[in-house]
Amino acid sequence: MFPLIPAGMSPWWYFICVGLSVLIMAVGKGGFGGGGIGILAIPLMALVLGARQMLGVMLIVLILCDLLANLFYLRDYDVPRLKWMVLGGLIGIGVGTIIFWQLRGIPPAMFGRITGLLVGVLCLLIVLLQCYRLMGGKVPTLPPHPASGVAVGVVAGTLSTLNHAAGPVTTLYLLQEKLEKRKLVGTMLLYTLIGNIAKLPTFLLLTMPDGRTLIDAAVVRDCLWFLPLIPLGILGGVWMNRRVPEKPFIVIMYIATAVVAGQMIWKSIQ
């Protein structure tokens, strides 16, 4: 039942990277950093697992994080906006599934390189967007209309299917809607829980070029060792949300994400 550690990799390095990834994602789901700090968890975990294995492991982690985090934000939802975002999210998941389907015919090694490049580039672009916003840059706003919620949902659903990095997109949209902080976090958490559960059929049933699905027995085995970190991270995120200044911490997380995503991109194009 030990996790499958890649040949030649230090077990300590493996457990540190995956453990930190799970903790960071759980802290973000607990409400600290608006959930945006979780972006670091994606390329960090992919460093030791590879992008393909990371996608499956991270989906299990995300669903469990969302289930626990939602307990702290029960009834803190903006239902009118949520329903249109969910509609768009389901469409976006369909788009992401079609992209994966189109990649099924390529050799497994090429699939791994393309997936790694895709994850790295998307993470880096999101970090650049967030840094631009933190430095005072004006991000274009959407009109207050149900179509805006659907459009955001489509983009977020597609990104989420391809690399689990939809959090900053939904956060930016809900921030422009000027929701109260708890309602913003609660709405985002319920949206991601519904979306992540909706991704399960794709991850369980769609066969990748190596003949495996994105979630199989090996992925579940790799998850088991890190599940106890999820409640610790959620509780830590709830505590930090009330007591720790967010901006300096977020800046450090984004710098680290840019470095790790850049390394992923470099590794994929070599």
Contact 158, 96 (CB under 8 A): yes
State residue 156's pLDDT score.
Answer: 87
* Domain boundaries of the chain, sorted by first residue: 11-269
Contact 65, 73 (CB under 8 A): no
pLDDT per residue as tens digits for the range 154-171: 988 988 888 887 777 777
* Residues 6 or more apart in contact with residue 224 via CB below 8 angstroms: 1, 3
Cα 71 to Cα 228: distance, rounded to the nearest angstrom: 17
Cα 32 to Cα 72: distance, rounded to the nearest angstrom: 13
* Residues 6 or more apart in contact with residue 126 via CB below 8 angstroms: 39, 165, 168, 169
**Model confidence at 92: pLDDT above 90:** yes
| Mean pLDDT calculated for residue range 217-225 | 84
| Mean pLDDT calculated for residue range 185-199 | 89
Backbone angles phi, psi at 207, to 5 degrees: -80, 130
CB atoms within 10 A of CB 269: 10
| Mean pLDDT calculated for residue range 93-117 | 82
pLDDT per residue as tens digits for the range 46-78: 888 887 788 898 899 889 988 888 887 787 788
